Structure 1
Amino acid sequence: MTTAEANGHRSLAEHSYAVLRDRLIMLDIRPGDPVNEAAIAEELGVGRTPVREALKRLEAEHLVVSYPRRGTFATGVDITDLAEIAEVRIHLEPVAARRAARNTAAEVRSGAEHLLERLDSLGADSTRRELLAADLDIHRFVYRASGSAHLADVLVRLDNLATRIWSLVLDRLPHLAGHVHEHEDLLRAIAAGDEEAAARIAAEHVRSFEQRVRESL
């Protein structure tokens, strides 16, 4: 395999992973649903090998589970995991936010401004998918902007699991748009380089998220 072929294969596997990951997170693929490798490959227009590699990554991230001779299935969503996930996030989210605010790279400032403009375009009439996608993108932006690949990797995985729990109770949460718009102050703090405000707001957001989910149960 040439270098170009290898890069193309990685791109197909990455694309397959990103599509499946977000479908699992937003519960387009419901907990317990089978994940048909052949059908997904055909839908995405890729070979089965990139899909198989994507599923291996997703299994490592506890989003799917494979059983010999039975196939691959979306993992269940356990509400009792919420407390443990929140306990870790309450410590790590402020670290990521503080580091992001400290990051003086021009793309961090412009990225925060772009996301603020995106939030400004979202309202109560925005779709569930649009709001969830914006929430995920904001969190992933902050994690990348932290400049720590290790920290980002841990937080992306935790946020993915938290979003699955959120998606499960979303119909009982009437103020989804308001929750997503809470990120505006965090993005402004990062754009302004205000480390302490960014860390404080990130911690408050985790607490608010956990409280709202618990109130919906």
Structure 2
Amino acid sequence: MRYTATGTTDPADATGTTADPVDAVDTNHPVDANGPVGSGGEELSLAEHAYRALRDRLVMLEIRPGAPVNEDQLAQSLGVGRTPVREALKRLQYERLITAYPRRGTFATDVNITDLAHISEVRQELEPLAAALAARRATETQRAGLAAVRDELAGVASGRHDAAGLMRLDLRVHRAVYAATGNPYLADTLVRYDNLATRIWCLFVDRLPGMAGHVGEHGPLLEAILAGDQDRASRLARGHVEGFERAVRTVI
């Protein structure tokens, strides 16, 4: 079962192009002469800037499933040349976020709900591993970052986050945990699958109850990681992934 832009609800402001706060870049303004800077303070190449900005637009469905992807328009909106955009699109095609057809053009990949089982199958094995590794290997700097995200989660129940804000916070948690594993190959794999899962979530967000509670579940997970409790962190991570799949299946 494939879903495109028709009949779906955009969880973000239709005019917004704000990237995810994790490794986010400003997608609304051109890049300055010195290059963009990521949230970690690192200087980004123009291709990396384009990749992160476009990735987050695609993940959050700000670029709708099935919508055409035009290099010139994207380059203009990001304030970069076509070459960085072209390099970014190659990566995004590999990550299944865009699809290129000969003589037809490039399009945002449709959301195929039948992929949920495959995505969940991978995440149910790798998310617990990532949580356990983060509990064991996180550096002091990474622990400080995890603690900051944990503190932000405490405000979820207040209702100050809209749906898009909750999903961006969810992405922040996952990416922070993946980075703390100390295994860049595992982190890269999980980011890709979490992005695909988030697209499914965005598609059904208007029908999913208890969204704040789902995001808030990360609080105990982060506490376990910060305490170095590998077994508990692993168990909570698996339960979170299983709960996500159950929640989506109740509304499809």
Is the CA contact (8 Å cut-off) linking 2:166 and 2:215 kept in structure 1? yes
Match of 1:189 in 2: 224
1:53 match: secondary structure: helix
Match of 1:73 among 101, 107, 129: 107
Normalized per residue, which structure has more helix? Answer: 1
Is the CA contact (8 Å cut-off) linking 1:77 and 1:165 kept in structure 2? yes
Structure 2 matches for 1:43-122, cutoff 5 A? 43-122=77-156
Counterpart residue identity of residue 14, structure 1:
E
Match of 1:38 in 2: 72
Match of 1:134 in 2: 169
TM-score (norm 2): 0.80
Is the aligned partner of 1:15 residue 2:15? no
TM superposition shift of 1:40: 1.0
Match of 2:4 in 1: none
Cα distance in 1 between the residues matched to 2:85 and 2:138: 37
Is the CA contact (8 Å cut-off) linking 1:100 and 1:108 kept in structure 2? no
Cα distance in 2 between the residues matched to 1:189 and 1:104: 12
Counterpart residue identity of residue 130, structure 1:
G
Counterpart residue identity of residue 117, structure 1:
D
Cα distance change on mapping 1:166 and 1:41 into 2, 3 Å: same
- CA deviations on 1:31-63 (whole Å, 9 max, x unpaired) are 100111111111111001101110010000000
Match of 1:144 in 2: 179
1:174 match: secondary structure: coil
Structure 2 matches for 1:152-191, cutoff 5 A? 152-191=187-226
Is the aligned partner of 1:209 residue 2:244? yes
Cα distance in 2 between the residues matched to 1:19 and 1:10: 12
Cα distance in 2 between the residues matched to 1:183 and 1:25: 20
TM-score (norm 1): 0.93
Is the CA contact (8 Å cut-off) linking 1:16 and 1:50 kept in structure 2? yes
Cα distance in 2 between the residues matched to 1:95 and 1:11: 31
Question: RMSD of aligned C-alpha atoms?
Answer: 1.7
Name structure 2 gaps, 5 residues minimum.
1-32, 37-42
Is the CA contact (8 Å cut-off) linking 1:101 and 1:198 kept in structure 2? yes
Name structure 1 gaps, 5 residues minimum.
none
- CA deviations on 1:156-188 (whole Å, 9 max, x unpaired) are 111111111111111101221111111000111
Aligned length: 212
